[in-house]
C-alpha cells in the first residue's frame, strides 16, 4: 500500500542526524514558544497555516516533515479527525511525541518516523497533506518522490499545501543584481548571501514560483498554483539602503516576488 521500501532508496542528501535537538530548540521556526513552554504553547504560524490550507473539521491531515509536531496538535484542536506526522529525524520525532502528550491529543494524532520518499500510510488516507518549510531541504529527486507519495496518500480531491522559505529569487536575482550592478558592492558584499549555517547544511533545493508549480504538476497534482507569501526578510542584506529596496519591491504586484522571501503552493489530487 505504501511506497518503495526504504532499503531501495538512495541515502538522503542531508542525513537525518544533521537535524539534532539543538536545531529544533534553537533555530527551527516556532522554537521560542515551544522551548519556553515545554511544548504546551505553539507559535501563531501553525494555526495560520491550517487557516490558509482550509482544514475542515472531520478531515485527516498528514504533515510531512512535522518537526516538533505543533501542526498536529493544532489540527486536532481545530477539529481534525486524525493527524499524522511524518518525520525522518529521530530528534524531531521525539520532540513531536512530547508535543502531542503535552496537548493531550495522542489519541487522535501520531508521529511516524519515516523517510518522506516512502511513507507507511495507506493510499487515499488524507484529505490534506502539508509540507511546511520542507521542500527546500529535499534534493530534486527526493522532492519529486515525496510529492508522488503525497499524491498517493491523498484521497481523490484531497489537497496539498506547501510553504517554503527563502525563495531562490531572493538570493539569486535580487541580491545578486544589487551586488553586481551597484559600484563597490562586489568587494563589500559576500558572493553568497546565506548567513545562517543551517542554510548551508540543509537548504539543497530552494524554490521559485515557477519551479514549485512545476514540481506539483510533474507529480500529478491538478490545479497546481504558487504565490508569494508576506515575509520581507532582509537580515542577510549588508546595508540599510539595500534593505529598503526589498521593502519597496513588495509594494507592487509585478515586483513582489523579488522582495518577499517565502512562497506558498497548492494542488489537488485528481479524481
In a domain, 82, yes or no: yes
For residues 270 and 254, give the distance between their C-alpha atoms in angstroms, rounded to a whole number: 31
Give per-residue pLDDT as tens, 208-250: 999 999 999 999 999 999 999 999 999 999 999 999 999 999 9
| Structural domain of 54 | 6-167+193-233+261-268
Give per-residue pLDDT as tens, 58-113: 999 999 999 999 999 999 999 999 999 999 999 999 999 999 999 999 999 999 99
Judged by DSSP in three states, 64 sits in strand
Instruction: Count other Cβ atoms within 10 Å, centred on residue 29.
Output: 16
CB distance 83 to 116 below 8 Å: no
| Mean local confidence (pLDDT), 261-267 | 98
In a domain, 29, yes or no: yes
> Which pLDDT belongs to residue 5?
47
Number of domains composing the chain: 1
In a domain, 84, yes or no: yes
| Mean local confidence (pLDDT), 172-177 | 97
> Which pLDDT belongs to residue 7?
53
In a domain, 179, yes or no: no
Query: What would the grid cell of residue 219 be?
Result: 507529480
Beta-carbon contacts of residue 161 (< 8 Å; ≥ 6 apart): 49, 52, 53, 128, 129, 130, 131, 264, 265, 266
In a domain, 255, yes or no: no
DSSP string, 178-214: HHHHSTTHHHHS-SS----HHHHHH----B-HHHHHH
> Which pLDDT belongs to residue 8?
82
Give per-residue pLDDT as tens, 112-129: 999 999 999 999 999 999
Give per-residue pLDDT as tens, 127-136: 999 999 999 9
> Which pLDDT belongs to residue 212?
98
> Which pLDDT belongs to residue 142?
98
In a domain, 85, yes or no: yes
CATH number (domain holding residue 101): 3.40.50.150
The residues pairing with 62 across neighbouring beta strands, listed in sequence order, are 84, 129
In a domain, 81, yes or no: yes
Q: Mean pLDDT across the chain, nearest whole number?
A: 96
* pLDDT value at 22 more than 80: yes
Query: What would the grid cell of residue 31 be?
Result: 522554537
In a domain, 56, yes or no: yes
* pLDDT value at 261 more than 50: yes
* pLDDT value at 18 more than 70: yes
Q: Detail the DSSP E strand segments found in the chain.
A: 60-64, 82-87, 109-113, 126-132, 154-164, 222-228, 263-268
Amino acid at each position: 500500500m505504501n511506497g518503495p521500501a526504504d532499503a531501495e532508496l538512495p541515502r538522503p542528501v542531508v542525513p537525518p542526524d544533521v537535524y539534532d535537538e539543538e536545531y529544533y530548540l534553537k533555530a527551527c521556526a516556532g522554537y521560542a514558544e515551544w522551548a519556553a513552554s515545554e511544548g504546551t504553547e505553539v507559535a501563531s504560524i501553525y494555526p495560520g497555516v491550517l487557516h490558509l490550507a482550509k482544514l475542515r473539521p472531520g478531515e485527516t491531515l498528514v504533515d510531512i516533515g512535522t518537526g516538533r509536531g505543533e501542526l498536529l496538535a493544532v489540527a486536532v484542536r481545530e477539529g481534525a479527525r486524525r493527524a499524522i506526522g511524518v518525520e525522518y529525524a529521530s530528534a524531531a520525532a521525539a520532540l513531536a511525541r512530547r508535543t502531542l502528550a503535552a496537548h493531550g491529543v495522542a489519541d487522535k494524532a501520531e508521529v511516524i518516523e519515516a523517510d518522506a520518499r516512502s511513507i507507511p500510510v495507506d493510499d487515499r488516507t488524507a484529505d490534506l497533506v502539508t509540507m511546511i518549510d520542507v521542500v527546500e531541504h529535499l534534493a530534486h529527486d527526493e522532492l519529486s518522490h515525496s510529492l508522488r507519495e503525497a499524491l498517493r496518500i491523498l484521497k481523490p480531491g484531497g489537497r496539498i499545501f506547501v510553504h517554503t522559505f527563502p525563495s531562490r529569487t531572493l538570493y539569486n536575482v535580487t541580491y545578486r543584481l544589487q551586488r553586481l550592478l551597484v559600484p563597490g558592492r562586489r568587494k563589500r558584499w559576500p558572493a553568497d548571501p546565506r548567513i545562517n549555517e543551517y542554510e548551508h547544511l540543509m537548504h539543497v533545493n530552494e524554490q521559485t514560483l515557477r519551479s514549485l508549480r512545476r514540481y506539483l504538476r510533474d507529480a500529478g497534482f491538478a490545479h497546481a498554483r504558487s504565490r508569494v507569501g508576506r515575509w520581507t526578510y532582509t537580515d542577510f542584506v549588508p546595508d540599510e539602503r539595500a534593505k529598503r529596496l526589498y521593502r519597496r519591491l513588495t509594494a507592487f504586484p509585478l515586483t513582489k516576488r523579488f522582495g518577499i522571501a517565502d512562497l506558498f503552493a497548492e494542488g489537488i489530487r485528481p479524481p
